[in-house]
Structure 1
Amino acid sequence: MARPVPREQPATLQADSLTPQKPVRPRIASVARVFGLIAGFGLLVLATRLWRPEAPDSLLQRAQDAYRAGQHDLAESLLDRLARIREPNPLDRLLRAQVALATDRPEAALDELSRIPDDHPIAPISRLLQGQVAIRLGRAVQAESSFLRAIELQPRHVQARRELCFIYSIQRRLRDLDLQLAALAELGELTPSYVLHWSKIRNVNWNYEKDLEHLRRFVAEDPTDRRSRLTLAEAIKRSGDLAEADRLLAPLPRSDPEAAALRASIAIERGDLNAASEALVEAPPDHPAVARSLGEIALIRLDPETALPSLRIAVRHDPSDRLSLFLLGRALSLLGRDEEAAPILETVRQNDLLGQMIAQASAKATIDDPELCLEIGLACQRLSRPLEARAWFDIALLIDPFHERAQEALALLDDGQPPLETTP
């Protein structure tokens, strides 16, 4: 039997066998790309979360911590980052000012502080800091304005009142000083050293040398600072340099009453009464400083009748001014009106006794004698200075809370009664 001849495969099968298969590798690569895109997106989301800007409050806290640690460059860098996130707010500006001060940039500090509005809770401390920077720069007028604004915003602002006491003491503005010291007393913030200063400035000769540096700086920094200019001219006059005192007064108008009175005083020192009278021509005669000068000139000319009205004006304005009282008492004595002169000259004597007691208290390292404090208080009360008297009674009781005479003196003062008799 013949072997069967093999059949040819159908063409279709041959065609199928020759058709190329799809490669496996490109398919895998495509899948990998998809997963890669997904992974990349996930990393992008994660990175976005990780690189999210720091919260402003956190940046401010870090900047504050850096400032407290003395890392001023870091604090400023953090504040710059904060400024790129938001407009600086008052807290940011206060810290910027503090950093500027720490890096010796007072002008930048003043600029930042000036941008803090008065209606923000930190405005009182900002105005205080403004004043402190200004006084450091020798700008007394600007400093006073800032301290007064701080007190307007916060009437119990103790430090602002103390700063004003410094300015008013340097400038010899006794009435303004009285107001601030009385306010400190009302707040219970009048320390023994401040009470002593309160009495010294009125009753002990002015040690002008210690104030000259401040006064010169104030005038050099701000030539329009009238108060400092007047006080500096007075100090220079007392030093004996009358020409320099005149030069300092030159920018002030002839109608300025206090400048006119000081020009008259300089002329009296030179023995030129005509020039002294001429200096007062354009000034208001009823101003107390001008009135006292007019009275003094008349007395030097032995004309007490003419002196009397002017000296009464001066004393009426300030009954505690020793020189005005002395001149008025002398004018009355020259007119033979000894009975009228006697109580006025007794007040002068009481002023001098108070000055001696104040000098005695100043010589002590600490104020620790309740009897001396009581006697000073009684002297102040007799001179119609009740707020000052109360301050001294308070010190006596601070030293000895059971001091009976101090307790009694304070009670009489509160009741508006005459003072205790002084112990022999």
Structure 2
Amino acid sequence: MEAMAQPKYKGKRYRLDKPELLAPAGNLEKLKFAVHYGADAVYIGGQKYGLRSNADNFSFEEMKEGVEFAKKYGAKVFVASNIYAHNEDVEGIESYLRSLEEAGIAAIIAADPAIIEVAKRAAPKLEVHLSTQQSTLNWQAVKFWKDEGLPRVVLGRETSIEEIATIKEHVDIEIEAFIHGAMCSSFSGRCVLSNHFTDRDSNRGGCCQSCRWKYDLFEDGREDNGNWVSEEVQMMEQRASRPSPFKPGVTQIPLFQPEDNQFTMGSKDLCMLEHIPDLIEVGIDSFKIEGRMKSIHYVATVVNVYRQAIDSYMADPEHYVLKPEWIEEINKAANRPLNTGFFYDTPDHEDHIYEPEEKAVPYDFAGLVMAYDKHSGTAVIQQRNHFKPGDEIEFFGPEGTFFKQVVGPIQDEDGNELNAARHPLQLIRLQVDQPVRNFDMMRKRKG
């Protein structure tokens, strides 16, 4: 059953042209999927100066290929250059930015004023978008960056929808906001736990996801000076006490039983799918999806759903409805429980994950459609995860493909029948119940 979208934002509204849908792309293949599945623009990382050093990232040649591919579909490519630079980072930035300009990159996303100023001088064809790393939350700060010549500001994740309305009222500038994906437990990504624990600088691309780790908690016990303590405390000490690494002569008492879950402090993920009218009408120009480290299945699924929702609203705002199948699709790609972040209120204890999380994604990306013969009803599938005859699978795609079926007999390229598709990237022939298209994806439930 479809439901009318119920607005939560009651303030002033600004009707906007169709917003840009901006998708993450950790590598060239993900870029192509993001564009195929409906992204108006993608943001990527280069080999330097970005905050996702563990992503595959792009060489200049890959950037050029990505730009050419995106242009065919009317899409743009942005490059995240959003580190906070130390002195040794600045050397070479000028030539790097010129190379981005030569590759056809439309804009960089930057936080450090040094990088911003070099870009404006050395690569004037590159737009400079202010990164969320600047934690820009108010209209006066936004106006400052507009006066500096920047055409777009990516707001800090802590900005509420009321604050966005105030910014749009005071400053005529493009506003980009995260509307889906992982949230940081620190202030707009300015975490130093990673530096402290692993010597990996979060603000130079090395975040080790400290907030997702499992922690033990201890309290300080008695000093080891022979003072009397209760029998209960003595039992706790015998169980798993240890000397404090911070206070010589003090015993630390564990707060967990051995069978207890350990403590984590990660945030739930952001999802604003149910509030598309609010996001559009408050004046957000670019809807940003987080996830350059996420899978192809995640990128394709999330982009495809938001594309449908945005297009549906723009086609008929007065009669827009939220389709339950969109929510179902989003949940198939969800890594964690979802919430609305800071848009409507300040997250509290219910918006964080304090115990080891169960991964929510119930589906695997099983295969990619490479070809389809309408006469025989046979598809050529590039295997991405193990599947076998008898498995229930789903097909979905950017042009409306969606159906379920059971896997029948499968063959390799030479016509040999197989009892399972076991080998990554192996080409498999499979009878399909409905027509499919190139770039359609096949997935199956885990377990």
* Fold match (TM-score > 0.5): no
| CA radius of gyration, larger in | 1
Higher relative contact order (CA 8 A, sep 6+): 2
Give the structure with the higher percent strand.
2
Q: TM (normalized to structure 1)?
A: 0.27
Q: TM (normalized to structure 2)?
A: 0.26
Give the structure with the higher percent helix.
1
